[in-house]
Amino acid sequence: MGAYDTEIDDLAAAARAGLVREIDADGVWAAEPVWRDAFATVPRHLFVPYYYVSGRGGYERRWRESPAPEARERWVRGAYEDMPLATRLRDGELLSSSSQPSLMAQMLVALRVGEGDRILEVGAGTGYNAALLAHRLGDDDLVTTVDLEPEITESARQHLTAAGYQPVVVTGDGARGVPERAPFDRIIATCALPRVPRAWLAQCRPGARVLTPLATGLLALTVRDAEHAEGRFLSTPAYFVPLRGEGRAEPEDVSLAGLPDRAREQDLFRFMLALVRGTLEPRAAYALWEREGEPARARYGVTVAGERAWAWLDDPEGPYLWPLP
């Protein structure tokens, strides 16, 4: 190992310890402290040999091989900041990123991983999340991660190998799951979807847990069988790069004209609006939101039953139900 590598490793170790302390201070790992060891061990900087930071003049590229020592230091310290990192751009569109570590920690705790669980991750990204899962389980073969873009999966494999992990990396449409690796005990998505793919439920064991971003929230479902699942949203907001492929969400603008200014400012209202889109007009949604005391995300849930799926407030039997696509 040369002086350059030693310099990087020393900087990374100190920065990683700082990140763990920062997440630790929020009490994220109180329920499952085993994840603390994963974040303290898995070297995030190996998964982001370069990334982009937005600024006034566009994106600044930070990378490991920069000839300037101060630039290399910015790269490695930035790799351990508690923030999402843009890792792949195409024509100004964000294709892939490394999620905010504290949000990843919340999601992994909420996944409730048990010993021997078989896990599918939808959205391979840099491979960092798959490495955390493999470290937690101590068995790389229990972890499968899938992404649509061959360039993304190939770089994820390289990053994982460099960090000493060998989970199964698949190139394919995440909305279709990975049937050849099923059945799964847990499915976690790190990309935004407009609906819960039925293929996921069919590839789950009864009692499996599915955690997926939906409508700027994180939905945690318990799978009853191949056609039925139900669960609530976590309390935290979540914004992810959209899934690419069959299950991709189509952007849709909704006018908030005529609503109070706070309708534009309130994240919780916009979350509700995303859930009821196509069922309630914005004015009716806002009236309901105010009448029900500006409900937090955790009061909402989703039920999947055969070909039907609906979102609900407080009770899956009603009175407030909204069909999902």
pLDDT digits (tens, 9 = 90+) for 144-188: 999 999 999 999 999 999 999 999 999 999 999 999 999 999 999
- What pLDDT shows up at residue 254? 65
Q: What is the token pair recorded at 67?
A: 């000839």
How many CA atoms lie within 13 Å of 288's alpha carbon, on the beta-carbon side?
Answer: 19
Is residue 35 situated within a structural domain? yes
- The reply to whether 43 and 96 lie within a common domain is yes
196 and 48 housed in the same domain:
yes
Q: Given pLDDT bands bounded at 50, 70 and 90, which one contains residue 54?
A: confident
Q: Do 226 and 281 fall into the same domain?
A: no
The number of helices, as runs of H, and strands, as runs of E, in the chain is 10, 14
96 catalytic per annotation: yes
Residue type, 273: L
In a domain, 116, yes or no: yes
Whether 240 is in a domain gets the answer: no
In a domain, 29, yes or no: yes
Side-chain half-sphere exposure of 27, counting CA atoms within 13 A:
0
- Per the structure, the count of domains in the chain is 2
> Average pLDDT, stretch 57-63?
81
What's the CATH code of the domain at 63?
3.40.50.150
- 96, 97, 98, 155: the catalytic one is 96
What pLDDT is stored for residue 252 in this prediction? 52
Cβ–Cβ < 8 Å for 119, 142: yes
Contact partners, residue 25, CB within 8 Å, separation at least 6:
none
157 and 115 belong to one structural domain: yes
Give the residue from 216, 233, 250 where a domain finishes: 233
Domain end: 190, 215, 233, which one? 233
**Are 132 and 42 spatial neighbours (Cβ–Cβ below 8 Å)?**
yes
User: In which element (H, E) is residue 133 found?
Assistant: helix 128-137
Is 288:279 a contact under the CB 8 Å cutoff?
Answer: no
Residues 168 and 287 in one domain: no
Mind listing the pLDDT tens digit for each residue in 97-155?
899 999 999 999 999 999 999 999 999 999 999 999 999 999 999 999 999 999 999 99
* Residue 151 domain-assigned (yes or no): yes
- pLDDT of the residue at 5: 75
Q: How confident is the model at residue 2 (pLDDT cuts 50, 70, 90)?
A: low
Residues 116, 37, single domain; the answer is: yes
Kindly tell me if the per-residue pLDDT of 231 is higher than 80.
yes
Joined tokens for residue 69: 């020592």
pLDDT, one tens digit per residue, over 234-288 is: 999 998 888 865 544 444 556 777 888 888 889 999 999 999 988 999 999 999 9
> 157 and 35 in one domain?
yes
Instruction: Give the pLDDT score at 44.
Output: 97
**Residue 167 confidence (pLDDT):** 98
One domain, residues 265 and 205: no
pLDDT of residue 300: 98
% of the chain surpassing 90 pLDDT: 76
- Same domain membership, residue 155 and residue 15: yes
Q: What is the pLDDT of residue 250?
A: 45
Q: Does any domain span residue 251? A: no
**Confidence check: pLDDT of 36 > 90:** yes
Residue 177 included in any domain: yes
The C-alpha atoms of residue 323 and residue 15 are separated, in whole angstroms, by 46
Same domain, 313 and 229: no
On whether both 93 and 189 belong to a single domain, the answer is: yes
Same domain? For 56 and 108 the reply is yes
Q: What six digits make up the tokens of 298?
A: 């955790």
Residue 312's domain comprises: 261-323
Whether residue 48 is contained in a domain is answered as: yes
Q: What is the mean pLDDT of the chain?
A: 91
